[in-house]
Amino acid sequence: MTSVAVIDYGMGNLRSVAKALERVAPRARVTLSNDAADLRRAERVVFPGQGAIGDAMAELRRLGLDDVVRELIGTKPFLGICLGLQALLDHSEEDGGVDGFATFPGTVRRFPGGLQDADSGSRLKVPHMGWNQVHQSDPQHPLWQDIAQDSRFYFVHSYYADTSLSSVVAGTTRYGVEFVSAAGRDNLFAVQFHPEKSQHAGLRLLENFMRWDGQE
C-alpha cells in the first residue's frame, strides 16, 4: 500500500487536497500532518498552500518544517500546489519581498495592472480566478498522462512564477502575460492551479502523481 503525506502548516485547502487524494487512490494511506517523522515516513509528499507567502514561510519556520521541506524536495516524489509552487522559487515580490526555497531559479511577481485579454481586449481582473488553459511544455511527463493538451484547470492567485530556465517549465498559462503554471525537475513537480478543484483533469493529475516513481 502506497502512502502520501500532505504537509499541514495551517494554510491552504488542506483537507480538500487530502480528500481528493483519497478519492483517486482509495487504497493509499493519506496522512495530513506537520510531524517531521510522518512526512519522512511517507513514500510521497504534497506541499499545498494558498494565502500570503510571508505568512507561509514564517509558519513553516515556526513549526520547524522549513529544513524538512528542503530535505523532502530531494528525496521522494514531491508535488507542490499553488503557494507550494511559488515557495520553490528564489524570491517572491509579495509581502515586501520574501525568499523561497530556491529549488527553481526565478521570481514570483504580481500580475501588473491594466491586463487585457489578447483576443477580446477586455480588462482582466486581479486576482486571476477561475478556469484557464495549461499548455504542456513537456507532454511526455508522467504527470500529464491522459490529460489533453491545453486542458483547463482552476486558478486563484495574484502572483505568478517567472523563470528564465526553460528546462524546468512543464506548463504555461496566459492571463495578460504568459506565466509558469507548472514546473518540474527530477522527482519534483509543482503547479500554480488547484488540481483538487479542477474536476476530471485535476483528479487525473493527482492520480498520476500517486502512481509516479519520481522519474521523468
Which of 22, 82, 91, 157 is an active site residue? 82
Q: Is the dihedral of CA 50, 43, 214, 101 positive or negative?
A: positive
* Calpha distance 16→108 (Å, rounded): 25
* Calpha distance 186→9 (Å, rounded): 25
Is residue 196 annotated as part of the catalytic site, yes or no?
yes
Which of 91, 196, 200, 207 is an active site residue? 196
Is residue 4 scored above 80 in pLDDT? yes
Residue 70 falls within a domain, yes or no? yes
- Please name the residue that has the C-alpha cell 499541514: 8
Residue 85 falls within a domain, yes or no? yes
pLDDT at 216: 74
Is residue 82 annotated as part of the catalytic site, yes or no?
yes
Residue 156 falls within a domain, yes or no? yes
DSSP per-residue codes, 47-82 = E---S-HHHHHHHHHHTT-HHHHHHHHTTS-EEEET
CATH code of the domain containing 79: 3.40.50.880
pLDDT at 113: 85
Looking at the chain, the whole-number percentage of residues with pLDDT higher than 70 is 100
pTM: 0.96
Residue 137 falls within a domain, yes or no? yes
pLDDT at 181: 98
Residue 193 falls within a domain, yes or no? yes
Residue 157 falls within a domain, yes or no? yes
Average pLDDT for 81-108: 96
Give tens-digit pLDDT for 168-213.
999 999 999 999 999 999 999 999 999 999 999 999 999 999 999 9
Residue 179 falls within a domain, yes or no? yes
- State the residue range of the domain holding 168: 3-97+107-211
Average pLDDT for 99-104: 96
pLDDT at 84: 96
> What's the structural domain count of the chain?
1
Nearby residues of 72 by Cβ (< 8 Å), 6 or more positions away:
39, 40, 45, 78
Q: Kindly indicate the confidence band of residue 147, based on its pLDDT and cuts at 50, 70 and 90.
A: very high
pLDDT at 118: 79
pLDDT at 10: 86
Which of 128, 141, 157, 194 is an active site residue? 194
Give tens-digit pLDDT for 29-42.
999 999 999 999 99
Burial of 22 (0-12, 13-18, 19+ CB in 10 A): middle
CB 157 within 8 Å of CB 192: yes
* Calpha distance 67→64 (Å, rounded): 7
pLDDT at 121: 80
pLDDT at 51: 87
pLDDT at 44: 97
Provide the residue type at 22 as one letter: E
Is residue 1 scored above 80 in pLDDT? no
Residue 216 falls within a domain, yes or no? no
Burial of 104 (0-12, 13-18, 19+ CB in 10 A): buried
Looking at the chain, the whole-number percentage of residues with pLDDT higher than 90 is 89
